[in-house]
Amino acid sequence: MLQVIGISTTIEYMYKGVYENTIGRFTRWTANKATPEDDIIKNAHNAYSELIFHEAWYEFDFATWLKKIWIEPEFFGDNFIRKFERKLFFTLEFGFKELYAGVIKYAAKSAYDESDGKIYLTLQSEMTLQPEQIYPGKELATDGKEYLLSVPRWGGFTDLIPKLANLDVTFSDISGNDRIALSFLTDEVDPFKPTFGTYLFDSQLVSSDKVKRVIYLVKVSDLTLLLIELKQNGYSVEHIYDY
């Protein structure tokens, strides 16, 4: 599934890059300002970026935004060439994604059971954890030091794991895995190198030429140590990649 999404995303960005630097650039040249269609497209992509932090991309409501771009702005008006081109381009993009999302969603649910939106993990703690400290969790009936938890996927996972690390717990496994990847951001030319974990790569953010995203792979058992080390050195975690 990751290969399918990775290949399709690469093709999409290549196509959009060529289009926007040719036809898209020409129609923008014909307009003296951004059109209402430009604003709708920007808002649609903002909404999409917010959704994929918490849910699978194919859950996005592409059809509603398609309807919006044809109904809300007046059809004729200033900068008509740009307005009409934006409508057609956006319809092609989101129309295809609406169909493709349906296929991927069907394939995902055919290959796997319906997700309950949670990640399951086990951890150990020398202190007795109270239910209000964990979202939502279940004790593992052992010696009182080991816990089985169900935590949210996606963005909720990234929000909660550092909070658990602050309780000085040791993660035993996450979804049965003993390795996990995470990213943090830095504006340093020579990125900080934590003691724990293995450096994978770093990349420049598209939105800033001064900020880098640094990716590390760490043993689940060392995750708390890495998170504490990043916090002590003034770094905040951008994303912890659940499974």
Of the listed ranges 46-60, 84-98, 106-120, the one predicted with least confidence: 106-120
> Which range, of 74-78, 137-141, 193-197, averages the lowest pLDDT?
137-141
Residue 162 structure tokens? 């550092």
Question: What pLDDT does 141 receive?
Answer: 45
pLDDT at 189: 81
**Confidence grade of residue 113 (pLDDT, cut at 50, 70, 90):** low
Residue 5 CB neighbour total at 10 angstroms: 13
- The residue with greater pLDDT, 80 or 2, is 80
Q: Over 70: is that where the pLDDT of 111 sits?
A: no
Distance (Å, whole) CA 219 – CA 195: 12
Q: How far is CA 42 from the centre of its chain?
A: 18
Q: What is the mean pLDDT of residues 147-155?
A: 84
CB 197 within 8 A of CB 218: yes
Could you state, in order of their start, the residue ranges of all structural domains in the chain?
2-111, 118-241
φ, ψ at 154 (rounded to 5°): 60, -130
Does residue 144 have a pLDDT over 70? no
- 206 compared with 89, residue with greater pLDDT: 89
User: Where would I find the beta strands (DSSP E) of 97-189?
Assistant: 118-124, 137-139, 146-152, 170-174, 179-186
